[in-house]
C-alpha cells in the first residue's frame, strides 16, 4: 500500500457517476484508487455496472489511506445496510484521515452524528433534517463544502448530488493534486464548459 492510496466505497445502487471526475484525475496524477465493499462480493451500481471490490470493509485501515470517498446510493435512505460505511467514516475522521461524502452518503454521516458540529452541505437542508440530526445550524448552501482538519479530527468534504465536479474540485484541492489556479480551471472546464480553461488546466 502506498501513501497515495484513496479508497472508494462501493455498494449496491451506488451512484457510479458521482466519483468519476475525482477518481479519474486522482489516478492520472499518481494516486491509486481501491474499491471497498462490505465484502469482496460484486456489487451492482445504480447504472447497472458490476464492480468487484478490491477489499472488504473489515480490511480497511485509515493508516493505509489518504481519503475515504462515499457516494450516494438508494440504500442510504431505505434502511441501515450502509451504516457500517458511516462507522468507517467516523474511524477515519477520528484518525485524522479525511472523508468525502456526496449525495445520500451525507445523510449516512448525519445519522452517524458526524455533521452535528461542523460545516457541511447536501442536496437540500430538509433532506438532512429528516434524519433527525442535530447539525442543521451548520448547514451551508453551497455546491460543496470542505471543513478543514483540526488536531483532533480529519477534514470532511460534503457535496450535493448534482455537484460531482465541485466534489472533485474539493478532493483534488485537499490532496494537493492541483493548486488554486488549476482548481479554478478544472471547475470552469468541466462545470461551465469554458474552453479557455483547458490550456490552464493542462499547462
Q: What are the chain's domains?
A: 5-202 (3.40.50.880)
The pLDDT value recorded for residue 176 is 95
Tell me, what's the pLDDT at 23? 97
Tell me the average pLDDT across 39-56. Answer: 98
pLDDT value for 68 = 98
Q: What's the pLDDT score for residue 101?
A: 98
User: What residues contact 53, with CB distance under 8 A and at least 6 apart?
Assistant: 10, 35, 36, 37, 39, 40, 41, 42, 43
Given 3-state DSSP classes, what are the helix, strand and coil percentages for the chain, each rounded to the nearest 5? 35, 20, 45
Task: Please check the confidence at residue 1 and state whether its pLDDT lies above 90.
Answer: no
Q: Are 146 and 156 in contact (CB under 8 A)?
A: yes
Active site residues: 103
- 137-144 long-range contacts (CB < 8 A, ≥24 apart) are 144/169, 144/170
Q: At what angle do helices 20-28 and 164-174 cross, to 10 degrees?
A: 30
Q: Are 104 and 83 in contact (CB under 8 A)?
A: no
Q: How would residue 203 be classed by pLDDT, with cut points 50, 70 and 90?
A: confident
pLDDT at 90 over 50: yes
* Mean pLDDT on 126-155: 97
Mean pLDDT for the chain overall: 96
Average pLDDT of the segment spanning 62-79: 96
What are the CB-based long-range contacts (under 8 Å, 24+) for 40-49?
43/10, 43/11, 43/12, 43/14, 44/12, 44/13, 45/10, 45/12, 45/13, 45/14, 45/15, 45/16, 46/13, 46/14, 46/15, 46/16, 46/73, 46/74, 47/16, 47/17, 49/16
Q: What global pTM score does this model have?
A: 0.96
**Residue 97 contacts residue 65 (beta carbons within 8 Å):** yes
Amino acid at each position: 500500500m502506498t501513501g497515495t492510496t484513496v479508497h472508494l466505497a462501493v455498494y449496491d445502487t451506488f451512484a457510479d457517476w458521482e466519483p468519476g471526475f475525482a477518481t479519474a484525475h486522482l489516478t492520472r496524477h499518481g494516486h491509486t484508487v481501491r474499491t471497498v465493499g462490505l465484502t469482496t462480493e460484486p456489487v451492482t451500481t445504480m447504472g447497472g455496472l458490476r464492480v468487484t471490490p478490491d477489499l472488504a470493509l473489515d480490511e480497511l485501515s485509515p493508516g493505509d489511506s489518504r481519503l475515504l470517498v462515499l457516494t450516494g446510493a438508494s440504500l442510504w435512505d431505505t434502511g441501515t445496510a450502509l451504516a457500517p460505511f458511516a462507522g468507517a467514516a467516523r474511524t477515519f475522521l477520528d484518525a485524522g484521515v479525511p472523508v468525502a461524502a456526496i449525495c445520500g452518503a451525507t445523510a449516512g454521516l448525519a445519522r452517524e452524528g458526524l455533521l452535528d458540529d461542523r460545516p457541511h452541505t447536501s442536496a437540500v437542508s430538509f433532506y438532512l433534517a429528516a434524519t433527525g440530526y442535530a447539525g442543521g445550524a451548520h448547514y451551508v448552501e453551497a455546491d460543496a463544502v470542505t471543513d478543514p482538519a483540526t488536531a483532533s479530527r480529519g477534514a470532511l468534504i460534503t457535496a450535493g448530488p448534482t455537484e460531482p465536479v465541485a466534489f472533485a474540485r474539493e478532493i483534488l484541492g485537499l490532496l494537493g493534486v492541483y493548486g488554486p489556479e488549476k482548481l479554478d480551471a478544472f471547475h470552469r472546464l468541466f462545470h461551465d464548459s469554458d474552453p479557455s480553461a483547458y490550456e490552464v488546466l493542462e499547462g
